[in-house]
Structure 1
């Protein structure tokens, strides 16, 4: 649940590439078998999403108390009976599951659920050209307030967790430093976001990546 901030100390942003036409199959299996079973092992699932612009992508978020807790939780789940029974079927839907960002908080976390069932979430991944802490502070002090004044609240500010991956069976993206933030996605703010991206271009190694996500039925983050 998003009202458990201790589970936002380490967060995985996971984006899977699936075999064509199999996303709903994975989501049905995931929501039936992998939500309670993972949380029982000591983690929290914050969001499960379709990516409308990419019909063969599945995006999800899970959090942990710390890196050691992450290791213990993942060992318990992936060596446990639920994954042993249903993991092969999940893996059959996937082409690649290695697009994973391992993150730690650098600002406001995920909000409590608000019951907004039809909202979309926009996730933005930035590759700062300056140290990530410097960029995070600049975003908090100069960018987020401007967006907020225009009616667009940001949440879920995270940066790369630099610690060694404590569960190497599941690879994460290494040798890159990112700043990630979330907001609710509305078409009325598209011009504002485009202008903000252009203004930040000089502080980024490359243009930011923005992905609009639609929550699945059991996604807490909406």
Structure 2
């Protein structure tokens, strides 16, 4: 069964606009290039310094594999990593099984407009 990962970030005070710019302009295109299924992301409604990211994976094994490869890659490490990590005060992660239908119901359709890759690159 598919799984989703929900990441919740508490950001350095006053940095949410900068963080959002880094995610939408640098991290999101990179995740899409690597074939990650980004379901949603953006400022959280519950706090001025809160942010979320939701990604979907075929199963827990794919989540672990894809994230290990992505976060170890030079594209991430030499790219937006430092700027993004410097704005995160803390984060938490939730992973849960979810049907594809429920995932699609959560999906932000505007993310498709960011995905310019001809095909997903799976390392």
Q: TM-score range by the shorter chain?
A: 0.7 to 0.9
Could you state the TM-score of these two structures normalised by the residue count of structure 2?
0.76
Alignment TM-score, normalising by the size of structure 1: 0.45
Q: Does 1:18 align with 2:19?
A: no
Which is higher, the Rg of structure 1 or of structure 2? 1
How many corresponding residue pairs? 110
Greater relative contact order structure (CA < 8 Å, 6+ sep): 2
What displacement does 1:37 show?
Answer: 1.6
Per residue, is there more helix in 1 or in 2? Answer: 2
Please give the alpha-carbon distance, in whole angstroms, between the structure 1 residues aligned to 2:84 and 2:15: 10
- 1:160-215 C-alpha deviation (Å, 9 max, x unpaired): xxxxxxxxxxxxxxxxxxxxxxxxxxxxxxxxxxxxxxxxxxxxxxxxxxxxxxx7
SS in 2 for 1:20: coil
Tell me the equivalent position of 2:75: 82
Alpha-carbon distance in structure 2 between the residues aligned to 1:94 and 1:36: 20
The gaps in structure 1 that reach 5 residues or longer are 1-7, 112-154, 157-214
Deviations 1:68-122 (A, max 9, x none): 211221122101122212211111101102x1110111584133xxxxxxxxxxx
> Aligned equivalents of 1:36 and 1:93: distance in 2?
19
Name the counterpart of 2:119.
Answer: none
Residue number among 23, 39, 43 corresponding to 1:46 in the alignment = 39
Q: Give structure 2 stretches of 5+ with no counterpart.
A: 113-123
